[in-house]
Structure 1
Amino acid sequence: MDLLVIGDANPDVVIGPVDQPILFGQRERLVPTGSLVLGGSASIMACGAARLGLSVAFAGRVGDDPAGDFVRTSLADRGVNVDALVVDSSLPTPLTTILTSGDDRAILTSAGCLPNTTADDVPLELVRSVRHVHAASFYLLPALAAGLAGIFKEAKAAKATTSLDPNDDPTGRWDRSTLDPILRLTDYFLPNAAEALALTGHHQVEDAAGILARRGPLVVVKNGVDGAIAHNGSKVVTAPALKVDTIDAVGAGDSFDAGWVAAVLNGSRTDRALAIAAACGSLSTRAAGGTAAQPDWDEALESVTS
């Protein structure tokens, strides 16, 4: 396998666009669209990487229920190996509802079996057999986060590269004491701009990226319509987002991650990899949900060179 992806997998119900504010009081409101799609940062990234031509395995946990069957089938249908997807008999599959509003969204998640996901769910022989290990939703999976350093150490010992997307912290604490030891084992840290700012307390994306880069990894920050930057602690590289007809931005950052990893594994330099990643993130917004509009490798390259 080229890539092992570790983390969250669940169905997403994507509803919108929704006029703000959201009304309670048992009021019913009609919206233009609603979709049941594959969700979870890790699973969307895995599908994007497979779409780009990488051989991909997924390690995580779902419940023994129809939602878990939906996740397993959705991943497998997109070419992702799910042999290491554990079925939890005690807790249900996570469920997420996403309310879109313009370029923003509100995300409601029932955690289900996510708290039960640990490093023990990740086969070490699989870790040692791949070229790259990517982990997602660090703060959503605290038990897995506690053992992630051990997984990354195994990957590094086997000469694999590593990447981490922290995603949002539902608690709002952004505890760095658990994150910093893992950053020292991470080749590519992939937050979005809001996450980078929250993790550093800074108000400028470039400054935040530089602070995070000094902890060890190459920091690659996704910044929506403003594109992306890569910071190695001293040098900054930028890439623009593509102009596309956006339906919603659900999973765009995860598709960006997939583009970055695919480009790096294909030998691209930082500037080229960043452009490809930004293109993959932009192109994924052309349809509802995170996976329907993910580009293949040829389309991604063509969008960068055109």
Structure 2
Amino acid sequence: MFDLLVIGDANPDVVVGPVDQPILFGQRERLVPGGSLVLGGSASIMACGAARLGLTVAFAGRVGDDPAGDFVRTSLADRGVNVDALVTDPDLPTPLTTILTSGDDRAILTSPGCLPSTTADDVPPSLIRSVRHVHAASFYLMPELAAGLAGIFKEAKAAKATTSLDPNDDPAGKWDRTVLDPVLRVTDYFLPNAAEALALTGHHQVEDAAGILARRGPLVVVKNGPDGALAHNGSRVITAPALKVDTVDAVGAGDSFDAGWVAAVLNGFRPDRALAIAAACGSLSTRAAGGTAAQPDWDLAVESVTS
């Protein structure tokens, strides 16, 4: 039995910056203050954050049969995440991501590797039936998994588990809802950031966009950077502020937010309190480079919203 099953992307991140804009080509070499090789992927960062918060976590996804895949597998296991359902693809490489940071913004370049080959068949049904909550991430990076995600969520809900989805960005910029909408109908918590919520609805106001998405079924919890976060159930909105911290970079902040939300909900907190804890987890994660180095434990997350 696990508290949480996380499904999705896992890869190494090379985080470089801060980088002065614009980026120059023409074989120009520029020096930046910092660079690090860290665990990346929205799903894997969320899984590590949830484990750090005290949940028992299993991960299902796919990596290649290569050193990058070994790095991912070891990094997850070292952070207390069960990787028995992390499939090794025999043909395609592990995804790789380079992140260029600039202030509170970043540019992300990803070589997808085996991500497109990830499917719902990679997720053992016995695992789905043995958890309290199922979370999925990077919806638009894994179209085969996206096509089967509604079935996974239906099976989870039949086993009395709750569900959540972080869509992340759509590299194609299409934001197709024909596959997403059936998933939203069996999603308890939809966790986009503000830009994603606006892109999915075509609206220019975050609260309005959240309301439109909420009417498709889930409680919509929107991450809004330094402005904190809001949750919309279709009729009522609650908000929570971000914490003021010394930010190194914001890589994975939204995924740490997701971990805080799920941990708080599974610990029995009401939405307003869960939102505050999630916002704190996202803020605190920005204190170090990469997505996992500064993720808070449960005591720190709770203390930060009560002090």
TM-score between both structures, scaled by the size of structure 1: 1.00
Q: Deviations over 1:5-56 (max 9, x none)?
A: 0000000000000000000000000000000000000000000000000000
Could you tell me how far apart the structure 1 residues matched to 2:71 and 2:180 are? 32
Aligned residue number for residue 245 of structure 1: 246
Could you tell me how far apart the structure 1 residues matched to 2:47 and 2:125 are? 19
Cα deviation for residue 168 of structure 1 reads 0.1
Q: Deviations over 1:55-102 (max 9, x none)?
A: 000000000000000000000000000000000010000000000001
Could you tell me how far apart the structure 2 residues matched to 1:123 and 1:115 are? 18
Could you tell me how far apart the structure 1 residues matched to 2:100 and 2:128 are? 35
Secondary structure, aligned partner of 2:12: strand
Cα deviation for residue 149 of structure 1 reads 0.6
Cα deviation for residue 301 of structure 1 reads 0.5
- Percent of residue pairs identical: 91
Cα deviation for residue 268 of structure 1 reads 0.2
Cα deviation for residue 153 of structure 1 reads 0.5
Q: Deviations over 1:94-116 (max 9, x none)?
A: 00000000110000000000011
Could you tell me how far apart the structure 2 residues matched to 1:115 and 1:246 are? 33
Cα deviation for residue 144 of structure 1 reads 0.3
Q: Deviations over 1:120-149 (max 9, x none)?
A: 000010000000000000001101000001
Could you tell me how far apart the structure 1 residues matched to 2:184 and 2:155 are? 15
Secondary structure, aligned partner of 2:135: strand
Could you tell me how far apart the structure 1 residues matched to 2:260 and 2:41 are? 17
Cα deviation for residue 164 of structure 1 reads 0.1
Cα deviation for residue 170 of structure 1 reads 0.4
Q: Deviations over 1:163-220 (max 9, x none)?
A: 0000000000000111000000000000000000000000000000000000000000
Aligned residue number for residue 124 of structure 1: 125
Cα deviation for residue 242 of structure 1 reads 0.1
Cα deviation for residue 300 of structure 1 reads 0.2
How many residue pairs are counted as aligned between the two chains? 306
Aligned residue number for residue 302 of structure 1: 303
Could you tell me how far apart the structure 2 residues matched to 1:293 and 1:94 are? 23
Secondary structure, aligned partner of 1:211: helix
Q: CA RMSD in A?
A: 0.2
Could you tell me how far apart the structure 1 residues matched to 2:296 and 2:150 are? 32
TM-score between both structures, scaled by the size of structure 2: 1.00
Secondary structure, aligned partner of 2:92: coil
Could you tell me how far apart the structure 2 residues matched to 1:153 and 1:235 are? 26
Could you tell me how far apart the structure 1 residues matched to 2:125 and 2:255 are? 24
Could you tell me how far apart the structure 1 residues matched to 2:151 and 2:200 are? 22
Secondary structure, aligned partner of 2:30: coil
Cα deviation for residue 286 of structure 1 reads 0.1
Could you tell me how far apart the structure 2 residues matched to 1:236 and 1:168 are? 24
Q: What stretches of structure 2 of length at least 5 have no aligned partner?
A: none
Could you tell me how far apart the structure 1 residues matched to 2:185 and 2:31 are? 48
Could you tell me how far apart the structure 1 residues matched to 2:116 and 2:133 are? 25
Could you tell me how far apart the structure 2 residues matched to 1:249 and 1:89 are? 33
Q: What stretches of structure 1 of length at least 5 have no aligned partner?
A: none
Q: Deviations over 1:229-269 (max 9, x none)?
A: 00000000000000000000000000000000000000000
Secondary structure, aligned partner of 2:177: coil
Secondary structure, aligned partner of 1:50: helix
